[in-house]
Structure 1
Amino acid sequence: MGRSPCCEKVHTKKGAWTKDEDQRLIHYIRLHGQGCWSSLPKAAGLLRCGKSCRLRWINYLRPDLKRGNFTQEDDDLIIKLHSLLGNKWSLIAGRLPGRTDNEIKNYWNTQFKRKIISRGIDPQTHRPLNETAAYTTTNTVTPLRN
């Protein structure tokens, strides 16, 4: 029972991608399009599994990917969308062309959350930190005495 493996594990390469593998993947996708990811590695002459090829393409090799730091406009939009959508990173990434959901999630969890806290904003509620602290202290339930 269980799920069948996505690829033949015996002849599948793991670890870092080489420049040659990247070029093969780019060349194949330019000629044939993305198509079926599970059959792509064999057709492109890669000893990788389809999932690995898909993730490499989506997160690193796509020509429309935006590299570099986030702008102030990006930061403002991420705050606004996070307050509306929560941690739905793929929906947020859809509003930031060239950015991946994984990149935005990692940015939020490693750098951006601290930046928001330093501005005095609670990253969960998007309210000022002093307001959030006052809200939690006034709305706590006092225990019953026996």
Structure 2
Amino acid sequence: MGRLPCCEKAHINRGAWTKEEDDRLIHYIRAHGEGSWRSLPKAAGLLRCGKSCRLRWMNYLRPDLKRGNFSEYEDQLIIKLHSLLGNKWSLIAGRLPGRTDNEIKNYWNTHIKRKLVSEGIDPQTHRPLNKNSTAKAKTPAPTELDFRNAPTVAKSISFTIPPLDFKYSEFQVKAKLESIEGGDCSSSGMTTDENQQLHELNLELSIGIS
């Protein structure tokens, strides 16, 4: 169930207040006090909404309203209270006699925020704007290694074995060795020096094949 409307919207005036309406509202409140804003318009003879009467009185007609520009003391007080209370303008206005919450909110958005930004202060956190950038600047960047002038390291080492020049083929060597081992040196037709060379060749061949 929603809240009941404060007045009948079909029979109320809208727009700017007239001098006669202001005088009626002031006279009634001076005589009877603020009271209930819901019933005040009918009692004061005003075709206005109760909310409209309250705002008109609080923001324009109150005798204790302070007119004119904000002082430097008020600026500093608003900044201090905003850092503690945030955007709770009604609570802030309660600590600045003669100033309304709507007036303070408009003054904050149009003047104080720009003033703080020009001084390098974040209007929301009330901390220096360049705090994060300063912290990043103090953090040393990782050192990059430069390998452009480093000596080249060989990935692999290869050895080239020159080809062996054999006087006899592999099959001829094996055939002659078999004949020598069988004791038939004379039938092979080879001298003692040739036999010695044949053994050496066989040894080299074995090394080369393995």
- Give the TM-score normalised by structure 1: 0.87
Give CA-to-partner distance per residue, 1:93-143, whole Å, 9 cap, x none: 1111111111111111122100111122111111122224445899xxxxx
Runs of 4+ in 1 over 4 A off after TM superposition: 135-138
* Alignment partner of 1:19 is 2:19: yes
Distance in structure 1 (CA, Å) of the matches to 2:69 and 2:95: 17
Q: What is the aligned partner in structure 2 of residue 94 from structure 1?
A: 94
Where structure 2 has 5 or more consecutive residues not aligned to the other structure, the ranges are 139-210
Q: What is the aligned partner in structure 2 of residue 66 from structure 1?
A: 66
Which amino acid is the alignment partner of residue 4 of structure 2? S
1:129 partner SS = coil
* Alignment partner of 1:83 is 2:83: yes
User: Which sits farther off after the overlay, 125-134 or 80-89?
Assistant: 125-134
Which amino acid is the alignment partner of residue 50 of structure 1? G
Which protein shows a greater Rg?
A: 2
Distance in structure 1 (CA, Å) of the matches to 2:133 and 2:127: 10
Q: What is the aligned partner in structure 2 of residue 35 from structure 1?
A: 35
User: Which sits farther off after the overlay, 17-26 or 30-39?
Assistant: 30-39
| CA-CA distance at 1:4 after TM superposition | 2.4
The alignment covers a number of residue pairs equal to 138
- Give the TM-score normalised by structure 2: 0.62
Where structure 1 has 5 or more consecutive residues not aligned to the other structure, the ranges are 139-146
Distance in structure 1 (CA, Å) of the matches to 2:18 and 2:74: 32
Which amino acid is the alignment partner of residue 85 of structure 1? L
Q: What is the aligned partner in structure 2 of residue 111 from structure 1?
A: 111
| CA-CA distance at 1:90 after TM superposition | 1.3
- CA RMSD, Structure 1 to Structure 2 (Å): 1.8
Distance in structure 1 (CA, Å) of the matches to 2:103 and 2:57: 14
